[in-house]
Structure 1
Amino acid sequence: MTKRKILIDTDPGIDDVLAIATAYCIDSLDIVALSSVKGNVSLEYTTRNAILTLDILKQNTPVYKGSKEPLVNSPVRNSNVHGSDGLGNLYDSYREATPPLDRKTGGLYDLAEYISQSEDKITIIAIGPLTNIAKLLMIDPHLNEKIEAIYIMGGGLKKGNVTDLAEFNFYCDAYAAQKVLLSGIDIYLSALDATTQVYFTYEEFDAYEVKNNKSEFIKKTLEYYINLDPYLHDVLAVLSLSDPHLFEFKKMNLNVLTSADSANGMVYESELKNNGNVYFVDVKSRENVVKRVFDIINTYNDR
């Protein structure tokens, strides 16, 4: 089986932890790099949270420190949904108890060089604001040719969450979201329209067994999150890649509104034809997606 080379661009974030942990358990995916971006919390926190998550999962994947502010607008105030540290206020206790692994680190220019020199095309799973991805395409316009596709959690056609019209990731950097959607690269967009169909119940959550520190970390972070936002947002970007049979994909011409008001980051259908393809993701069955997530993360009890 040929594995797809994966870059995860992330702003951990509790649901980012679930998405990252899920991705590492899927045999068809080879996670070659993570990049951090300001989003749920500051860049310093998202970077250290990404590293801690990998240390707990015992993965020494390189982590590239990305953007601390959006392309154009002022930074958006951090979300409080994930706790003050982005990990449900669990960072300090787990950092103290988890030995750090040796790993390569760098910045966006290093990441651009890595992608440009890769023998294989890279597939990006982007589960935070799209600032890093837009900057990579600005650093080296030829990177388009090295990127297989981008699987995104962000945006919303019929709803928002940070405003009535805009989803958090796209609202944080609407200019970056617009640039990426119009880049000509194949885009698979898991927007709020899909992610708010997928949630776990308390019964499903309670059934998740904990047998080691990896599964304990996943469950404790989710335990903080479930009381505030039970939707499985970010993991849909992973599963829409690895398990496409669980979803439907509709090819659409989409754009992102850039403005100075509550409509900033709003996704809308455009009459202009995109240079590439945007596939809007829809969920076939909540139960099947949730079962797949728990089937995957339950494997951590055997690792």
Structure 2
Amino acid sequence: MTPPSPLFRWSAVLLSLSLAACRPSGAPVDRRTPVVIDTDMGSDDAMAIAFLLRRPDVEVKAITVTGAGLAHCEPGVRNALRLLALANHPDIPVACGRTTPLQGSHAYPDDWRQQADILNGVPLPEPRFSASASTAVQVLTSALEGSERKVTVLALGNLTNLAEALQARPSLAERVEQLYVMGGAVTVPGNVGDSPGVNPPNPYAEWNIYVDPEAAARVFETVPAMLVPLDATNHVQVTEEFLQRFEKDRQTAEADFVYRLLASDPDYVRSGTYFFWDPLAAASLAVEGIVTFEPKKVRVVVEEGESSGRTQEAETGHTVRAGVSADRQKFESAFLDTLNGRVHVP
């Protein structure tokens, strides 16, 4: 092989020096994944947020609350701020969005919303900062456009805020590195059923999509999603055995808070119908291999009726990567290790 010429070697040296000059001396490269969390601030949302705030490989840039989901706007925002105070991240901006779906009037039962407003009565410290004066759409837009790198979005509630932001500024789709959505039930029954206030009963839809089907349809046609539906979350049930294990393994304030949330409703745990919905979506973002994804074409039913909000496979649907299963053991280990501060990134 012919050795490079002196001119070539000097050019390479000059290029290397030029690139080095562009970076402050000794400045570390931030390899954390920038994330925006859009949430309806139910108790499992709070667990998912606490999990991500403990991840050393994740940078939460903003939290936007949907006022049309589980918690009402004011208590939802306040609980998010209190959770940030607990995790010592008080400077992350928090804002709330509109209080109604884009279309229709689907809503969670009133007593569910009241319970979400108080986070099951589990105590948290007082907020150290106030909510942002901007709207959720404005905060979401600013976080996406202001980041040096594309941002991963984690949606843990109805997709109203995200749909509004994308409608107002379609170019935001290009700023999304990845969109993870906890929502839907593709090949399994939904969880809306005959809940109070649901008329007619709906055996097909999952709550996050049901509350605002129009928003979900708009988002899926705009941004390719990593969908974490009931098909995957059904594999990560909250069990008494796990709760007993967790009781003995809570070494941080965040771990203790999440344990208390899970333990606040023992009847729910014993019922066998309590699952790690939002925490699994958060874990799938941070830990490879916990959820198995497969490409599927999914259509959201926006029309009223017993199928409203259903996420069904259809040739005319939009392509998503949908979770079809989850590794329960791997999830539980990652969940406890992260909350207890045992995760370290080189």
Superposition TM-score, scaled by structure 1 size: 0.89
Q: CA deviation at 1:218?
A: 1.5
Q: Could you say what secondary structure the match of 2:277 adopts? A: coil
Instruction: List gaps (5 residues or longer) in structure 2.
Output: 1-29, 194-202
Matched residue SS, 1:15: helix
Asked whether the equivalents of residues 148 and 186 of structure 1 are also in contact (C-alpha less than 8 Å), the reply is no
Counterpart Cα distance in 1 of 2:276 and 2:111: 17
**1:75 Cα deviation (Å)?**
4.3
Tell me the distance in 2 between the aligned counterparts of 1:149 and 1:250. 15
Q: How far 1:202 moved relative to its partner?
A: 1.1
CA contact 2:252–2:341 (8 Å) conserved in 1: no
Counterpart of 2:128 in structure 1 is 101
Matched, 1:181 2:220: yes
Which residue pairs with 1:143 in the alignment?
A: 172
Does structure 2 retain, via aligned residues, the 8 Å contact 1:6–1:125?
Answer: yes
User: What residue ranges of structure 1 are gaps of 5+ in the alignment?
Assistant: none
Asked if residue 64 in structure 1 is aligned to residue 95 in structure 2, the reply is yes
Q: Which residue of 2 aligns with 1:44?
A: 74
**Is the alpha carbon distance of 1:80 and 1:174 closer, same or farther for their aligned partners in structure 2, counting shifts above 3 Å?**
same
Q: Does 1:218 align with 2:258?
A: yes
Residue in 1 aligned with 2:64? 35
Tell whether the 8 Å contact from 1:22 to 1:293 is kept in structure 2 after alignment. Answer: yes
Q: 1:284 and 1:215 mapped to 2: Cα distance?
A: 22
Counterpart of 2:85 in structure 1 is 55
Query: What's the secondary structure of 2:305's corresponding residue?
Result: coil
Q: Tell whether the 8 Å contact from 2:251 to 2:340 is kept in structure 1 after alignment.
A: no
Relative to structure 2, which stretch is displaced further, 101-110 or 250-259?
A: 101-110
Shift of 1:222: 1.3
Q: Kindly tell me the number of residue pairs found equivalent between the two proteins.
A: 293
Alignment correspondent of 2:242: 204
Equivalent-residue separation in structure 2 for 1:235 and 1:211 (angstroms) = 19
TM norm structure 2: 0.78
* Mapped partners of 2:85, 2:267: distance in 1: 26
Q: Which moved more, 1:165-174 or 1:26-35?
A: 26-35
Measure, in 2, the Cα distance between the counterparts of 1:116 and 1:299. Answer: 31
Q: Residue deviations 1:239-268, cap 9 Å, x none?
A: 212112222210111110012222111001
- Superposed CA deviations along residues 257-281 of structure 1, whole A, max 9, x for unmatched, are 012222111001121263xx41011
Q: For the Cα contact (< 8 Å) 2:232–2:291, is it kept in 1? A: no
Give the % identical residues. Answer: 27
Asked whether the equivalents of residues 213 and 308 of structure 2 are also in contact (C-alpha less than 8 Å), the reply is: yes
Q: Which stretch of the first structure deviates more once superposed, 277-286 or 46-55?
A: 277-286
Q: Which has the larger radius of gyration?
A: 2
Per mean C-alpha deviation after superposition, the further-off stretch among 26-35 and 285-294 is: 285-294
The residue type equivalent to 2:264 in the other structure is Y
Quick one: which amino acid aligns to residue 127 of structure 2? P
Residues 81 and 129, structure 2, Cα contact 8 Å, conserved in 1: no
Render the CA deviation track for 1:21-54: whole Å, top value 9, x for unaligned: 1111222211111000131122222222211211
CA RMSD across the alignment: 2.1
Q: Which amino acid aligns with 1:13?
A: G
Aligned mates of 2:237, 2:83 — CA distance in 1? 22
Contact preservation (8 Å) 1:195, 1:232: yes
Structure-2 residue corresponding to 1:5 = 34
Q: CA deviation at 1:129?
A: 0.5
Residues 176-203 of structure 1: CA distance to partner in whole angstroms, max 9, x if unpaired?
01111111x2310000111111023212
